[in-house]
Structure 1
Amino acid sequence: MNQKIAVLGPGSWGTALAQVLAENGHEVRIWGNLPAQIAEINTYHTNRHYLPDVKIPDSIVAYDELAEAIADCDAVLFVIPTKAIRVVAQEFAQKVKNAPVIIHAAKGLEQGSHKRISEILIEEIPEAHRKAVTVLSGPSHAEEVVKHDITTITAASTDLAAAKYVQDLFMNDYFRIYTNDDVIGVETGAALKNIIALGAGAIAGLGFGDDAKAAIMTRGLAEISRLGVAMGANPLTFIGLSGVGDLIVTCTSVHSRNWRAGNLLGKGHKLDEVLENMGMIVEGVSTTKAAMELARQLNVEMPITETIYGVLYEGQDVKDAAKNIMLRDAREENEFSLE
């Protein structure tokens, strides 16, 4: 089943997914808005800013004109920052001529509206110009996928035939896909784990060890689950790949830009300085704001998220914030029901 696929977003994850698709025999186009980067991919078959020392398959062709990239494609994969999803979806809707399957591998919540990525895509792309929207998410680092490390993630859609189609596109001997119909849970887990990764990085930056790491990941998963279920997710999703799986990989690896950003905050660096030096989008920062607003709207208690929000947006000292959350009133572990 050789398909024609456009990957929108030549960052590290978009490039890695494009490589998987090309190695599976599909015709792959990758689109971006930086002409120098597009020229580098087409001329040298590299993307050094995001994946140094990686040779991109020669069959991948890069475009800086969206209409050319998406022309006659069977599927279009959005792998761009959350803040750009709506604008690019609007441009896509104006330029697409057929009705491809829409896939996204972005992880975040829209500022202001608090909407999930699939909701934005469904809003902005008319049904006449798309098939079902499928979410691709789970524990994965682009730096490891391009080296063919064993990776397992989830394809989630309300249309299981679409999820199965995406599964077939990507499956090979190092990249395994499971299907799921809980789009809300998969997208919520994908977005909120970045908040907890900021906290896990900060804990490490402050000099704390494995005990603290386990604590923030475990209690962080409880927060993710509470908010996700309040949004309509299946609680079982959060003990799967896009829940605890993605949380583990994002909270424990130096490949995680959210962990690295948190680590620098824990070491005393200012947020503006951290973001300037990262060179890539740190989705957890904006997601913290959206999640905090959403939690208050839905009356869901999220003390870790609230603490991280205080550090990012209210100028709280990281050390004081870590101490204060430990001094909260005593609780029962299972006090907050998921139902």
Structure 2
Amino acid sequence: MTHDIETAPASDAPRKQRGRRRRALRITGGIAGGLVLLGVVAVAGIVIKVVTYTDPYVQKVADAGYEQKTADVNEVAFSYVEGPDNGEPLVLLHAQLMNWFDYSRVMPDLAENYHVYVVDYQGHGETTYPDDYEMSANNIGADLGAFLDEVVGEPAYVSGNSSGGLLTLWLAANRGDMVKAIVLEDPPLFASEYPRIKETVAIKAFSSSEAAVQEGETDDFLNFWLDANKGFFNKYVAPGSADAIKGLVAAYRAANPGEPTEIGIIPDDTVKLLFQGLEEYDPRFGAAFYEGTWNEGFDHAEALAAVECPVLLMHANWSYNEEGLLDGAMDQDDADLAMSYLQDGTYVKVDSDHVVHLEHPDEFVEILDGFLLGEQ
């Protein structure tokens, strides 16, 4: 016996739910795909912006009349940039790890009142020297003194930042016949002498130089430094930015072979211009600080006491970190001690990080002019 079984019509609710789920999946997938696409577009946009970037101060420096030159002095071929003759000679010595272009933000203004020479001292920029050149204050200072003799040709004002400040002090102490007055822009007086240097944050950067020399990684120090100092970029750019920056460096180099690396999207000028300096830097310079040989025969106290010309000591911000290391060039005791040795010293405290002429270029020029030219 057969039974006719009436089949009840299926409910619309499950079908509607399945439809909503499919639509939701399509929408979610569309959003995810769109976000991926937007991410790809955003990354591509950043890369294009990076590889096509030209620092505007390249043109500003050229418009101010500066020309890049080379001078053979002793066994060194100094690379330097010279401005128009609009006043007394002013020699600028950049910070360690940088090159002449780190003064670009102040060079146009300084060209109005001085005959400016910005010098890449040994270990930096395009300056060349023998492979066995000794990286020490006495050796580098002696050659810079010869540069004053043979290129500048008359007593000059000299201003130096960081290690450039130490070399400025060396010149004033040992070549006073060619130095009229000096500006020491946050130099690491006493703090960079061995073994005190081991109690500073700077020792971490110098350890990278030492490692590069020991491992033979000196041909591409920029990439070596990027790998060894990721914490620097996490602090001064953004957390986790080091790997992305390394990729941008590779992209810039591929698109601009032979050109100095520029990562223009980084807002901090000091960090931005660091890439150029690191690309041409000889880590033997920093290794000499790490080993304590850079200051051998160059006692900071004795040098300060020997200076007869007027000296302006510009002191930037400093602190001690959680490890008890000095984060800065000098603490207040160092600055006070330095002033106590000077015969004709002026002290200025500035609210700035280490490279004052990049963080506060207008204030730097104002302070420099006020001291050298008497313009208040």
TM-score (norm 2): 0.26
TM-score (norm 1): 0.29
